[in-house]
A and B are shown apart, each in its own frame.
Chain A
Amino acid sequence: MSALRTTAPPVTAGRGSATWRLVKAESTLCVRDKVAPLWGIGFPLVLLVVLGSVPDLRQPVETGGGLTYFDLYVPVLILFNLAILATASVPTTLAGYRENGVLRRMRTTPVGPARVLAAQLVANLAIAVVAMVLFLAVARLGFGVDLPGHPLGFALAWLLAAAALLAIGLLITALAPGRGPATAIGTVLFFPMMFFAGLWVPISQMPPLLRSIAHYTPLGAGMGAFQDAYLGHFPSAVPLLTLAAYAVVCAFAAVRWFRWE
């Protein structure tokens, strides 16, 4: 009974320590889960290196403002990372937590389940930052791709894109009845989203109808904003507002329909 006689000294009293430990734990679990590091970072990184080694992709894209095909793939792969986190990592993990009673167990503690959600989002955001910096660095150092001409605009566009996608991830979690359906919905959403980001065909070369649709999809809007930033402009209002709208609406709907059990 030694445990219960001697009270351990409070670790570092206050709520900050519990939140920080949760973020740390969720990050560790994200890495152990392998989806985020493997599919969110490893796979797009390999793709980046492979595509960077194809000479044909170094041709300028028509109407691309001087950017080459490969230049455009760098932001596409940054969006690829966010899309994986939002459609595979977040919903599967959180719907699993709900299904297995992890969130329910948390409801009986002073910390509550909302902070587990927050910690999970922070952990994914941290992984996304690592991926973004890594992809930019590899493209710059390995393949001589210039950094975005308007760094502040790029950072803002990235933050809005990350917010929009994590909100979508939360919404999937909220609407899916269980872990299986959450994974399925995420997978089904991933491919059209990536299509409209221009993974297979650059947006500028899509037929007009698809192009106009693309501008209003989360990743298409993200791509539009990134492209502006690469060309040295502050991103125009439409893509930024589109991303912000996705973030707000999806987050709101997710909170509205979220079930803890």
Chain B
Amino acid sequence: MPPVIEVRNLHKRYDDKIAVDDVSLTVQEGEIFGILGPNGAGKTTTVECVEGLRTPDRGEIRVLGLDPLRDRAELTRALGVQLQAGHLPERLQVAEALELYSSFYPEPADWRALLDDLGLAAKARTRYAKLSGGQKQRLSIALALVGNPRVAILDELTTGLDPQARRDTWDLIEGVRSRGVTIVLVTHFMEEAERLCDRLALIDAGRVVMVDTPAGLTERARVGQRIQFRPSRPMDDRLLASLPGVSGVTRRGDLVIVNGDDDALNAVTTVLARNRIVAERLRVEQASLEDAFVHLTGKRLEPGSC
């Protein structure tokens, strides 16, 4: 089956800044594909080229076999887009906006039900300018879905939503995917990417660092797991450091911290048992996608948060 979205060697520069520097990726039918990276990495420029809002300097893009610039009429009917900064007239009411947008598409979704799904029913008669940031965000998700698209590109899906609304939106997106809609999700939230995405492209400085499943990315980053415990009696760190699978042993206060891959835990507990050391307050942490990201790019995704 041909990929739903195919981007090959995409380049795009603005006056003095290279925004996208050779991005290639493919999105398969029915998957949720995440594009993850820090601010200014070129995520939005990439999807805007895919949407046909920007003209690439070089490279080739196909969406459902269509050229985003040449085949606009056909593409816009099948592609739902949520823009990071795309607004509505200030005095347009929520229900009016959905009704209007649904009239743009040949086979629209039922906008009234969409209004309920996104928790906007109570705001149906509220003007756009009077909505809160989270409500505007939910409306823009609704507008991206109102045309019953085959592909939806959602840029910063849950930015500005509170935790509950964020989880509700994730449920909604999973529901949309279960109908066979292919979804591209631009995000800088690790939790969102881990929860929703089948595959992820890590983008940094205009380049694709890696494409894999969330678990695969974590594994490939080889950050593995972190084992932390307080030994019941003094012990020599070298006992653990030489074990297979263990990459490092450090101390913090009376705690021993062992970094290693998936085999490390077994090896450590075996050695401790053999030496009659009890691991008190034992904690094992899986490395998160965040750790993987830091490891792969040397950058943090969300400075100051998480």
Residues of A participating in the B interface, judged by any CB pair closer than 8 Å? 1-8, 10-11, 13, 17-18, 21-22, 25, 28-29, 32-33, 96-97, 100-102, 104-105, 107-112
Among all A-B residue pairs, the 10 with the closest Cβ atoms? A3-B113, A105-B86, A3-B114, A108-B81, A1-B175, A8-B110, A100-B87, A32-B91, A2-B113, A110-B76
Q: Check B103 against A18 for contact (C-beta < 8 Å).
A: yes
Q: Check B116 against A4 for contact (C-beta < 8 Å).
A: no
Q: Check A109 against B101 for contact (C-beta < 8 Å).
A: yes
- Whether a CB of chain A sits under 8 angstroms from the CB of B298 is no
- Whether a CB of chain A sits under 8 angstroms from the CB of B117 is yes
Q: Check B76 against A5 for contact (C-beta < 8 Å).
A: no
B145: chain A residues at CB < 8 Å are 3-4
Interface positions of B from 105 to 122, Cβ below 8 Å from A: 105-117
Write 28 A-B pairs (CB below 8 A) sorted by A numbering: A1-B172, A1-B175, A1-B178, A2-B117, A3-B110, A3-B111, A3-B117, A4-B109, A4-B175, A6-B113, A10-B108, A11-B102, A18-B103, A18-B104, A25-B92, A29-B89, A100-B89, A100-B90, A101-B83, A101-B86, A104-B83, A105-B88, A107-B52, A108-B53, A108-B76, A110-B104, A112-B72, A112-B76
Best-buried of B86, B107, B143, B148 by chain A (most CB within 10 Å): B86
Q: Check A10 against B83 for contact (C-beta < 8 Å).
A: no
Chain A proximity of B249: nearest CB distance (Å)? 50
Q: Check A4 against B179 for contact (C-beta < 8 Å).
A: yes
CA distance A2 to B116 in the complex (A): 9
Q: Check A104 against B104 for contact (C-beta < 8 Å).
A: no
Chain B proximity of A10: nearest CB distance (Å)? 6
A108: chain B residues at CB < 8 Å are 51-53, 76, 79, 81, 83, 86
CA distance A104 to B143 in the complex (A): 14
- Contacts A7-B148, A8-B102, A18-B104; A105 near B87 (Cβ below 8 A): yes
Chain A proximity of B174: nearest CB distance (Å)? 9
A6-B110, A29-B92, A100-B89 known, 18 other contacts, Cβ within 8 Å: A4-B109, A4-B113, A5-B179, A7-B108, A7-B148, A8-B109, A10-B107, A18-B103, A18-B104, A21-B103, A29-B89, A101-B86, A101-B87, A104-B83, A107-B52, A110-B105, A110-B147, A112-B72
Chain B proximity of A96: nearest CB distance (Å)? 8
B108: chain A residues at CB < 8 Å are 7-8, 10-11
- Contacts A7-B108, A7-B110; A109 near B147 (Cβ below 8 A): yes
Chain A proximity of B55: nearest CB distance (Å)? 12
- Whether a CB of chain A sits under 8 angstroms from the CB of B176 is yes
- Whether a CB of chain A sits under 8 angstroms from the CB of B237 is no
B176: chain A residues at CB < 8 Å are 1, 4
A3: chain B residues at CB < 8 Å are 109-117, 145
Best-buried of A5, A11, A108 by chain B (most CB within 10 Å): A108
B110: chain A residues at CB < 8 Å are 2-3, 6-8
The count of residues in chain B whose C-beta lies closer than 8 Å to any C-beta of chain A is 47
- When C-beta atoms are compared, the residue in chain A nearest to B99 turns out to be A21
CA distance A13 to B72 in the complex (A): 20
CA distance A221 to B172 in the complex (A): 59
A100: chain B residues at CB < 8 Å are 87, 89-90
CA distance A110 to B106 in the complex (A): 9
- Whether a CB of chain A sits under 8 angstroms from the CB of B100 is yes
- Whether a CB of chain A sits under 8 angstroms from the CB of B222 is no
- Contacts A4-B179, A7-B109; A21 near B92 (Cβ below 8 A): no
CA distance A190 to B51 in the complex (A): 40
Q: Check B53 against A104 for contact (C-beta < 8 Å).
A: yes
CA distance A17 to B89 in the complex (A): 20
A1: chain B residues at CB < 8 Å are 117, 172, 175-176, 178-179
Chain A proximity of B236: nearest CB distance (Å)? 58
B263: chain A residues at CB < 8 Å are none
- When C-beta atoms are compared, the residue in chain B nearest to A7 turns out to be B107
- Contacts A11-B102, A22-B100; A102 near B109 (Cβ below 8 A): no
B86: chain A residues at CB < 8 Å are 101-102, 104-105, 108
- When C-beta atoms are compared, the residue in chain B nearest to A109 turns out to be B104
- When C-beta atoms are compared, the residue in chain B nearest to A1 turns out to be B175
A105: chain B residues at CB < 8 Å are 83, 86-88, 143
CA distance A8 to B101 in the complex (A): 13
Chain A proximity of B145: nearest CB distance (Å)? 7
CA distance A29 to B14 in the complex (A): 35
CA distance A28 to B79 in the complex (A): 28
A8: chain B residues at CB < 8 Å are 102, 108-111
- Contacts A8-B102, A105-B88; A25 near B96 (Cβ below 8 A): yes
Contact of A109 among B76, B85, B178 (CB under 8 A): B76
CA distance A102 to B91 in the complex (A): 12
B100: chain A residues at CB < 8 Å are 21-22, 25
- Contacts A4-B148, A21-B99, A108-B51; A29 near B87 (Cβ below 8 A): no
CA distance A108 to B116 in the complex (A): 24
